[in-house]
Amino acid sequence: MGRTDEFLSSISGFLRAKDAAQLQQWLVVEPPLADAYAELSRELKTIDIEKAVDKIDNDDAWPGFIAFMNLYLDFFRRVDYGNLMETHTQLSALVNSCITAMSNASYGILVLPTTIQLCTALATLAMTLDKRPDLTRRWRAADDGEARKTLVEGTAESIQRAFTICLTERTSNRDGVKDGKPEGKKVGIYSFANLVLKLLFRCQKTPLAEQLFTNIMQNSPPLALYPASHRVTYLYYLGRFLFSNTHFYKAHLCLQSAYTQCHAQCINQRRNILIYLITTSLILGRHPSPALLARPEASTLLPKFAPVIAAMRTGNLAAYRHALGPTSPHHAWFLRRGILLPLLYRGDTLVWRSLARRSFLLTYDAPADTTTRKAPTLDLHALLLAAQLCQRTLEAEAARQGRKLQPSMGLISGSLMPDISDVEAIVASLVAQDLLHGFVSHSLKRFAILGAKQKGGPLAAGFPAPWGVMKARAATATAGDVP
C-alpha cells in the first residue's frame, strides 16, 4: 500500500469513528512536519489525486469533505514553503474549502478542530507577510486602482465565515448550551472570533469588529462557559475596541477582567493587557499601586509610565508633556501602542485638576474663625501663575534644543502664553465635569468651594477623587454592556 492510500485509509477510519481529534492531528499543514508528509508529497506528484480520493468511503464522507481532501492533497503536491505568497494563496483556498466542509449540518462538526487549526496557520502566515512588504509589494501592485482589502483584512474575512457558521448554528437548545457546555459548533465561536479580532487589530480595521461584538452579545452562549484562554483573549480585544472608541470605563472593566483571569505565568499576555489597563486607569484618575508595578509583567512598563504618573499626581504640566512629547525616549512606543493621544488629551484634564489642587494647597489660609460661613476660594491668578511657569519651562527646553514648541506640546497651543480667560475656562470645565466641586466667580476671578464643612474640609469638598467621580458617572450607563 502506497503512502497516499495509507493516509486516506486512516482518514476514512477517523471519519467512521467520528474522531475529530485524530482528523485534526493528521490534517496538518504547518511545518515542521513529520517525514511521512514529505514522502506523501513526493508520491502525490506521480498519481491522480481525484482517483485516490474517490477511494474514501462515501458512507463516511460528504461532498464538501471530498472536495476539501482533493485540495488538501493538491496543497501538499504543490506547496513550496519558501514561497510565502504562493503558500498563502494555496492555504487560503484550502481554508475556504475546509470551512465549506464544516458548514455541513450533520457532519461538519467533525472538521471543526481541523478548521480551527488551519485558520490559525493562515492567520499566522498572513501576519508574517504583513511584516514583509518586500514580498507583498507585487501583490499590492496588482491593484486595479479601486479600493481593495489588504492581505490581512482578506484573511480575516475568510476566517469570519467560519465564525458565522459556528455562531448561527441551530442547536437543540435555544441558548446553545447543553449539559453546561456550548453545544455543537458553538464551541468554536471564540476560537474564530479571536483570530478575526487579532487580524483586524493588526491591519488597523478595528471599526469592522463592531458587528462581530454585536453578534456575539446577541447569539453566543455565556463567555464563562469557554476556556480561560478564549475568555482572556476576547476580553482583551473587546477592551481595546472600547478604548479606541473612548469608552474608557467599559474598557477598564474588560481589561481588568482579562488581567485577573490571565494565568500568572503568561507574562507576555499579562504585559499586553497591562499596557491598556494602566492607560485606562490613568485616564479615569486611578493610579496603579506600587505592588502592581512591582510585578514581573510590569518591569518594562514602569520606566515608561512612571514619569507620566508622577506628573499627573503633582500637576506638573511641563513634565507631563515632556514624558509624552517627541523628545521623550518612549514617545514612539506610546504612539505605536495607540495610547499617546488618549493620554495626552484625556489625561491632560486630570493634570490641570492636580495643578489647581496644588495651587490651592500653597495659597489657601484657613480662617482663624472656625464658625465663618465664607466659602474657601482659590485665586485663579495663582493658578495662572503656576500654568505660566509650566509654559515657560516648556519654551525654555524647546529653545535649548533649537526647535519650536509644537502646537500640541504647549499648554494652550504652541508658544501661546495662557491668560486669565484660559484658566477661567479650564476651571469652569473641571467644575462641569464634577472634577471640582463649587463655582467660578467671574467677577472676582476665584473658584469657590461648596460644602467644605459638611465634607470634612475644603480639599475633600472641592477636589473629589477623580476615580470615584468618573466611576459613578460611567457605571449608570454601563450596566449589562460588559460580559
Residues 35-59 pLDDT 10s:
999 999 999 999 999 988 987 766 7
Q: Give 8's strand partners.
A: none
Cβ atoms within 10 Å of 278's Cβ, excluding its own: 25
What is the arithmetic mean of pLDDT over 109-121? 98
Kind of pairing between the strands at 377-379 and 181-182: unpaired
**Domain locations in the chain as residue ranges:** 3-134+150-283, 342-400+407-464
What is the arithmetic mean of pLDDT over 216-225? 95
- By CB atoms closer than 10 A (0-12, 13-18, 19+), residue 456 is exposed
Among 25-34, 285-294, 385-394, 451-460, the range scoring the smallest mean pLDDT is 451-460
- Residue 34 and residue 23: Cα distance in Å, rounded? 16
* Torsion-angle region of 177 (φ positive above 0: left; ψ -120 to 50: alpha; else: beta): beta
In contact, 123 and 31? CB cutoff 8 Å: no
Rounded to two decimals, the pTM is 0.93
For helices 112-130 and 151-167, what crossing angle results, to 10°?
Answer: 160
Kind of pairing between the strands at 438-441 and 446-449: antiparallel
Q: Is the pLDDT of residue 137 over 60?
A: yes
For helices 228-244 and 248-261, what crossing angle results, to 10°?
Answer: 160
For helices 302-314 and 317-324, what crossing angle results, to 10°?
Answer: 160
Q: Is 446 helix (H, G, I), strand (E, B) or coil?
A: strand
- Residue 232 and residue 263: Cα distance in Å, rounded? 9
Angle at 308 between CA 353 and CA 261, to 5 degrees: 105
Q: In what order do the strands lie in the sheet with 446-449?
A: 377-379, 446-449, 438-441
- pLDDT class of 174 with cuts at 50, 70, 90: confident
Among 125-139, 207-221, 341-355, 379-393, the range scoring the smallest mean pLDDT is 125-139
Predicted local confidence at residue 419, as pLDDT: 96
- Residue 95 and residue 195: Cα distance in Å, rounded? 14
Q: Which residues contact 247 (CB under 8 A, 6 or more apart)?
A: none
